[in-house]
Amino acid sequence: MNLHAVRAIYRFEMARTARTLMQSIVSPVISTSLYFVVFGAAIGSRIPEVEGISYGAFIVPGLVMLSLLTQSISNASFGIYFPKFTGTIYELLSAPISHLEIVVSYVGAAATKSVVLGLIILVTARLFVPLRIDHPVWMIVFLLLTSVTFSLLGFIIGIWADGFEKLQVIPLLIVTPLTFLGGSFYSINILPPFWKAVALFNPVVYLISGFRWSFYGLADVSVGVSLAMTLVFLGVFTGIAAWIFRTGYRLKA
């Protein structure tokens, strides 16, 4: 593997984050803090506990996952779309660097930004609610796997998109609604049997459930199933990225 090329692209993407610190880090943290204030304080006063956990603390994993999914997609999609927009993607494709190294560079940078953001949000959450992490190793595992998986999805979206507006279509119309309906602010166990069965078709349920389990030992579905589903998503998105480079989809036009 050409580590010099990977390091160069990775450092360039990370430097772009430093130049847009307000948009990349500060804005998502402030937005998530508002969720803590509105949901944790206003609604939390009416819902004192969920399965023995204060409501404010219960929603922390869901809010972190919401930011993680949206920012992973956003960072990776814009990172690869901008070279397409400016035409420098052709210089990258003709350089002595493999397709795997290109994906590792962009996805690695996007995932790093998302993990850093997730950790900052966790630190911020401690200012609002009492927080504990029962399984810190598994928390990091789910954090890393989710960041890489959805950074891959963002990379795919960035290649698919032929305009800036399309970069936001899937995150806004699909990912964000699925996250809100995936148990970010409630346990699907409180739903009627029919709607609970419907919720299990929402892939984000498994991500949030596994992540919340790493905090409090509570899960809507088995943690093994959550981990398996995360790996399935990772495998699917990896396969799609490989197909894109093999066929030249939206790259050779």
Write down the domain spans for the chain.
3-247
Q: Can you give the pLDDT at residue 31?
A: 82
pLDDT digits (tens, 9 = 90+) for 170-195: 888 899 899 988 988 888 988 899 99
Helices (H) and strands (E) in the chain — how many of each?
Answer: 13, 2
pLDDT digits (tens, 9 = 90+) for 84-110: 888 888 888 888 888 889 999 999 999
Mean pLDDT value of segment 24-39: 79
Put simply, whether the predicted model's pTM sits higher than 0.75 gets the answer yes
> Would the pLDDT of 253 be above 60?
no
Mean pLDDT value of segment 44-73: 85
As a whole number of angstroms, the distance between CA 41 and CA 109 comes to 35
